[in-house]
C-alpha cells in the first residue's frame, strides 16, 4: 500500500502556519467550557446519535472560523449540499455566505464500494485538501468509510492514521463525525479514541414527553475541563444552545446587602437570598406574593414574576386586591405595577422540558435584569419531578439558584406544601415562611413559621402578617409621594 505521506506531499504544496491560534467552536458556551481545546494540529471526533446535532456543530465550527478568515473544507459522504445549506441557514449558520467569499469548499464524495481501495479515498481527499488548502476540514461522516473497510483491519488502521495525520499536514483542525445508533450509549471508537485530541459525544434521549440532548465530553487533550455533561437544545437562528448555568463551579459568596422590610416579624432578608413561601394546598395566601412585590418596590428592585400556575392578569388582580385591602389607593397601585417595575410571565412546565424551561427563564432574567424573581407554583415542578425522576431537574434548579445568588437577585419560591418537596426546597432556602392552618374556638386561623438561616425559628400570627402588609402599604404610599415631589 502506498504511503499516504507520499500521496499527500506530492500534491500539497505548502502549509499556512497559524502560531498560537485558538479556533472557535462557533458556540459561545463551548468556547468558554472547552477553551483552548481547538488549536492547530488537533483532531476532533464528534460522535453522536441520529439527529443529535453533529452536522450543526461541525458547520458552526466551519462557519465561525471562516468568519475569522480560516478556510474550511467540508467533505460530505451523506449530506446533500443544498439541503445542508438550507438547514443550516435556519439555524443561523450561513454556509452559502462563506462559500461566496471563498472560505468554504463543499465536496461530496461518492459512497465507496467495497472494491475501491482505501488509497483511492485517501487520494481524493488529499487532492481536495491540496487544492483548497484549508485550515479546517470536516468529514461528515466517516462511518460509511469505517464500515466499508471495517473487516479489513490494516485498511481501517491506515484510514484512521491518515485522518490523524491531516491536522499536522495542514497545521489546522480536522473534525470527524461518527454516527452512533440511538440506543447505544457507550461508543467504541477503536484507535481513533487514542489519536483524537478531543472526543465529544452528542446524545439524544427522552425527558418526560420531550427530546433531551446532552453533550458528553469524552476527552480534551489541551485543556482542563471539569464539566463532563452539558444539556443543550437546537434552536432556530442559533444552532446548539446551552444552559449558561453549567459554567458556575463555585458557590457564590453571601452579599451583605440588607433589604428594608416594613416590620421585624419577618426576619432579615439579604440580596441574593432565596425565600421559600409555602402554604397548605387548600389555602393560598396570595397576599404574600403582594407582600414580596411590595418589598421589592420599597427597595427599588424590579420584580419578575414567573408563574407555573396562573396567567399574568389573574396574578396581577390578586396583587392589586391585596394591596387595596392593605390600604393603598388603586391608582397608586397601577402606577406602581407598571411594566418597568413588575413583569408578569406565565410558563407551562408541562409544555417544555426542564432544560428549555431553564433557558426561557435565563432569557427573561437576562432581558429584564430583575432585582427580585418570584417563582409562583413551584410545587407543580416538584410534583412533575417526582413522576419523572429526572436528575436534570435538580441540577438545573440548583445551578439557576446559584446563578441568581451570584447576581445578587432575591429569589422567592412560592408553592403549596408537601413533606417531600418541603425538605428539598427548604434546604435550598435562606428564609422560610411556612403557613399552616389551626383551629381556635371553632375559628380557622393561620400561623406562619418564620425561619432565617442562622436564627432560631419563630411563629407569628396572620394578624401580624396583615399588620406588616398595612405598614408596607403606608411606606409605599409615602415613597410614591416623595418620588413625585422629587421629580
Ligand X SMILES: Nc1ncnc2c1ncn2[C@@H]1O[C@H](COP(=O)(O)OP(=O)(O)OP(=O)(O)O)[C@@H](O)[C@H]1O
Closest CA to 333 of 180, 158, 439, 479: 479
Q: How far is the CB of 173 from Mg ion (least distance, A)?
A: 18
Would you put residue 300 in left (φ > 0), alpha (ψ -120 to 50) or beta?
A: left
CA–CA separation, 148 and 145 (whole Å): 5
Residue 206 near residue 51 (C-beta atoms within 8 A): no
Binding flag, residue 91, ligand X (CB under 6 A): yes
User: Rounded CA gap, 95 and 60, in Å?
Assistant: 9
Between 88 and 169, whose beta carbon lies closer to ligand X? 88
Q: What string marks each residue from 340 to 379 as x (binds ligand X by CB under 6 A) or -?
A: ----------------------------------------
Contact status, residue 310 vs residue 349, Cβ threshold 8 Å = no
Distances (CA, A) of 116 to 18, 154, 157, 247: 35, 15, 16, 47
Q: What's the min distance (Å) between Cβ of 23 and ligand X?
A: 19
Q: Which three cell numbers stand for residue 197?
A: 485530541
| Cross-sheet strand order for the sheet of 458-461 | 342-346, 303-307, 372-376, 410-416, 274-279, 431-440, 443-452, 458-461
Q: What are the grid coordinates assigned to 136, written together?
A: 479546517
Buried b (16+ CB within 10 A) or exposed e, 163-186: bbbbbebbebbbbbbbbbeeeeee
- For residue 59, state whether it binds Mg ion (rule: CB under 5 A): no
Distance in Å, CB of 166 to ligand X, minimum: 21
Stretch of 48-56, 232-240, 445-453, 472-480 lying at the interface with Mg ion (CB under 5 A):
48-56
The residue with its CB nearest to Mg ion is 55
- Cβ 105 to Mg ion, closest distance in Å? 18
Here's the x/- map for ligand X, 42-81, by CB under 6 A: it reads as ------x-xxxxxxx-------------------------
Instruction: Tell the smallest beta-carbon distance from residue 279 to ligand X (Å).
Output: 39
CB of 70 to ligand X, least distance (A): 21
* Cβ distance to Mg ion smaller for residue 137 or 290: 137
Residue 476 near residue 336 (C-beta atoms within 8 A)? yes
User: Taking contact as CB under 5 A, which single stretch among the options 52-60, 104-112, 240-248, 371-379 is the one that binds Mg ion?
Assistant: 52-60
Task: Between 185 and 335, name the residue whose CB sits nearer to ligand X.
Answer: 185
- Using only the alpha carbons of the chain, give its radius of gyration: 29
- Asked if 307 contacts 274 with a C-beta cutoff of 8 angstroms, the reply is no
**Residue 287, interface with ligand X (CB under 6 A)?**
no
* The residue to which cell 402606577 is assigned: 335
Tell me which residues in 148-167 interact with ligand X (CB under 6 A): none
We find the least distance from the C-beta atom of residue 54 to Mg ion, in angstroms, to be 5
- The number of beta carbons lying within 10 Å of the beta carbon of residue 67 is 15
Judged by CB under 5 A, the residue of 42, 55, 246, 409 near Mg ion is 55
Bridge-based pairing of strands 443-452 and 431-440 is: antiparallel
Quote the least distance from Cβ 416 to ligand X, whole Å.
35
Total residues binding ligand X (CB under 6 A):
15
CB 326: neighbour CB atoms within 10 A? 22
Interface with ligand X (CB under 6 A), residue from 236, 419, 423, 486: 236
Q: 235 vs 424, which CB is nearer to ligand X? A: 235
Give yes or no for residue 105 binding ligand X (CB under 6 A). no
In sequence order, the 6+-apart residues with CB closer than 8 A to the CB of 139 are 75, 77, 125, 163, 174, 175, 176, 177
For 307, the grid coordinates are 408563574
144 DSSP assignment: H
Q: Which is nearer to ligand X, 208 or 406 (CB)?
A: 208
Q: Which is nearer to ligand X, 56 or 322 (CB)?
A: 56
Q: Which is nearer to Mg ion, 56 or 409 (CB)?
A: 56
235 lines the binding site for ligand X (CB under 6 A) = yes
Nearest approach in angstroms of CB 174 to ligand X is: 17
Nearer to ligand X, 48 or 231 (CB): 48
Within 429-468, which residues bind ligand X (CB under 6 A)? none
- Interacting residues with ligand X (CB under 6 A): 48, 50-56, 87, 90-91, 179, 234-236
- Interacting residues with Mg ion (CB under 5 A): 54-55
Amino acid at each position: 500500500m502506498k504511503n499516504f505521506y507520499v500521496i499527500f506531499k506530492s500534491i500539497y504544496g505548502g502549509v499556512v502556519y497559524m502560531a498560537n491560534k485558538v479556533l472557535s467552536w462557533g458556540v459561545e458556551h463551548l468556547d468558554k467550557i472547552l477553551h483552548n481545546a481547538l488549536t492547530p494540529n488537533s483532531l476532533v471526533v464528534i460522535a453522536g446519535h441520529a439527529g443529535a446535532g453533529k452536522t450543526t456543530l461541525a458547520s458552526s465550527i466551519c462557519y465561525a472560523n471562516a468568519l475569522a478568515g480560516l478556510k474550511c473544507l467540508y467533505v460530505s459522504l451523506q449530506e446533500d449540499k443544498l439541503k445542508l445549506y438550507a438547514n443550516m441557514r435556519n439555524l443561523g449558520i450561513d454556509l452559502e455566505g462563506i462559500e461566496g467569499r471563498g472560505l468554504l469548499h463543499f465536496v461530496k464524495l461518492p459512497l465507496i464500494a467495497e472494491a475501491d481501495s482505501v488509497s483511492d479515498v485517501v487520494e481524493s481527499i488529499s487532492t481536495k485538501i491540496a487544492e483548497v488548502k484549508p485550515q479546517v476540514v470536516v468529514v461528515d461522516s466517516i462511518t460509511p468509510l469505517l464500515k466499508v473497510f471495517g473487516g479489513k483491519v490494516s485498511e481501517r488502521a491506515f484510514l484512521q492514521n491518515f485522518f490523524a495525520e491531516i491536522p499536522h499536514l495542514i497545521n489546522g483542525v480536522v473534525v470527524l463525525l461518527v454516527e452512533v445508533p440511538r440506543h447505544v450509549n457507550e461508543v467504541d471508537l477503536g484507535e481513533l479514541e487514542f489519536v483524537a485530541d478531543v472526543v465529544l459525544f452528542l446524545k439524544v434521549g427522552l425527558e418526560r414527553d420531550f427530546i433531551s440532548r446532552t453533550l458528553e465530553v469524552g476527552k480534551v487533550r489541551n485543556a482542563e475541563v471539569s464539566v463532563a455533561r452539558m444539556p443543550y437544545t437546537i434552536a432556530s437562528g442559533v444552532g446548539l444552545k446551552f444552559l449558561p448555568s453549567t459554567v458556575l463551579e463555585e458557590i457564590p459568596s453571601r452579599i451583605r446587602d440588607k433589604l428594608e422590610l416594613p416590620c421585624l416579624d419577618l426576619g432579615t432578608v439579604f440580596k441574593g437570598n432565596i425565600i421559600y413561601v409555602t402554604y397548605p394546598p387548600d389555602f393560598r395566601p396570595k397576599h404574600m406574593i403582594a407582600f414580596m412585590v411590595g418589598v421589592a418596590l420599597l427597595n427599588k428592585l424590579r420584580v419578575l414574576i414567573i408563574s407555573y400556575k396562573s396567567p399574568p392578569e389573574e396574578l396581577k388582580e390578586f396583587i392589586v386586591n391585596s394591596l387595596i385591602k392593605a390600604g393603598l389607593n388603586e391608582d397608586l397601585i397601577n402606577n406602581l405595577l407598571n411594566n418597568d417595575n413588575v413583569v408578569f410571565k406565565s410558563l407551562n412546565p408541562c409544555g417544555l422540558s426542564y432544560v428549555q424551561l431553564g433557558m426561557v427563564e435565563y432569557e427573561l432574567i437576562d432581558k429584564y435584569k430583575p432585582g427580585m424573581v418570584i417563582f409562583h407554583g413551584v410545587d407543580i415542578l416538584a410534583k412533575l419531578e417526582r413522576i419523572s425522576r429526572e436528575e436534570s431537574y435538580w441540577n438545573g434548579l440548583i445551578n439557576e439558584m446559584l446563578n441568581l445568588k451570584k447576581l445578587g437577585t432575591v429569589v422567592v419560591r412560592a408553592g403549596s406544601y408537601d413533606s417531600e418537596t418541603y425538605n428539598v426546597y427548604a434546604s435550598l432556602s435562606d428564609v422560610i415562611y411556612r403557613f399552616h392552618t389551626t383551629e381556635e374556638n371553632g375559628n380557622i386561623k393561620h400561623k406562619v413559621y418564620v425561619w432565617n438561616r442562622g436564627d432560631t425559628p419563630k411563629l407569628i400570627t396572620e394578624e401580624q402578617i396583615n399588620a406588616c402588609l398595612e405598614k408596607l402599604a403606608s411606606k409605599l404610599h409615602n415613597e410614591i409621594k416623595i418620588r413625585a415631589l422629587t421629580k
